[in-house]
């Protein structure tokens, strides 16, 4: 029998087959490891982005809470001011110009031991002194209306429903009060409110201080409803309709 016809022993054939199988398995395992690595990297990136979003919301939540606490302090100072001034609420720069008194920016500090902060930590307008403004309906004769004066707290029939202070929009600068009394219709008031107030400063809500001293975080849908519903006292303490 010629050498070319001599078959390899069974043991050698089995060993070659086993080696070939191990090599294939190693190659397949290396391929799976690369895919697993890519999947792991994608998962890490997704988790990192989610963590960033969650941390951002948590930080905004902290800033919103700080803003609410500042408004509560302003509310307590305003009540103390009124108690010391025969129930009259703090004045604005208009009354300061006519020598009736100081703007609330100056007059409230003594009633908060000089600790009240007038800037919201989420206010992007870093160069202004205060982030809040008072509802002009709660000041003497707003827009020159001689027969309109709710600057005395006892005249506000539902203080828990009437806005005292709100957050100024980024473009609303140079005034310590809003001009809601100039609106001649519900639609005009709604438009003026949106342009004057930062209605979505804190993750789609804003903080509002009411005349009774409590603070609420409201989204625009809630505010819009309160502005337009019949008999609303959200801005005007005693509406005609």
**pLDDT 10s digit of each residue in the chain, 241 long?**
454 455 555 555 445 544 554 455 454 454 568 777 777 777 778 777 766 555 555 566 789 999 999 999 999 999 999 999 999 999 999 887 776 778 999 999 999 877 778 999 999 998 899 999 999 999 998 887 888 899 999 999 999 999 999 999 999 999 999 999 988 888 999 999 999 999 999 989 999 999 999 999 999 999 999 999 988 999 999 887 5
Q: In degrees rounded to 5, what are phi and psi of residue 134? A: -90, 150
Assess contact for 82 and 89: CB atoms under 8 A. yes
Q: Where are the domains of the chain?
A: 10-228
* CA atoms within 13 Å, Cβ hemisphere of 115: 7
């Amino acid at each position: 029998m010629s050498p070319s016809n001599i078959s390899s022993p069974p043991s050698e054939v089995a060993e070659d087959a086993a080696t070939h199988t191990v090599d294939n398995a190693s190659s397949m395992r290396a391929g799976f490891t690369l895919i697993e690595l890519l999947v792991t990297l994608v998962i890490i990136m997704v988790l990192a982005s989610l963590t960033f979003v969650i941390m951002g919301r948590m930080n905004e939540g902290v800033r919103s809470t700080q803003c609410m606490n500042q408004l509560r302090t302003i509310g307590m100072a305003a009540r103390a001011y009124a108690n010391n001034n025969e129930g009259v609420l703090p004045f604005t720069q208009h009354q300061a110009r006519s020598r009736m008194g100081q703007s609330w920016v100056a007059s409230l500090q003594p009633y908060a031991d000089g600790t009240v902060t007038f800037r919201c930590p989420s206010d992007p307008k870093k160069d202004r002194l205060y982030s809040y403004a008072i509802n002009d309906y709660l000041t003497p004769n707003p827009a020159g209306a001689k027969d309109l004066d709710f600057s005395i707290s006892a005249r506000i029939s539902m203080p828990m429903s009437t806005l005292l202070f709100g957050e100024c929009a980024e473009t609303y600068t140079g005034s310590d009060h809003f001009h809601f009394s100039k609106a001649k219709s519900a639609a005009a008031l709604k438009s003026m409110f949106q342009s004057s107030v930062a209605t979505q400063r804190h993750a789609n809500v804003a903080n509002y201080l009411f005349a009774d001293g409590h603070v609420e975080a409201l989204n625009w849908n809630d505010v819009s409803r309160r502005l337009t519903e019949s008999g609303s006292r959200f801005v005007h303490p005693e509406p005609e309709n």
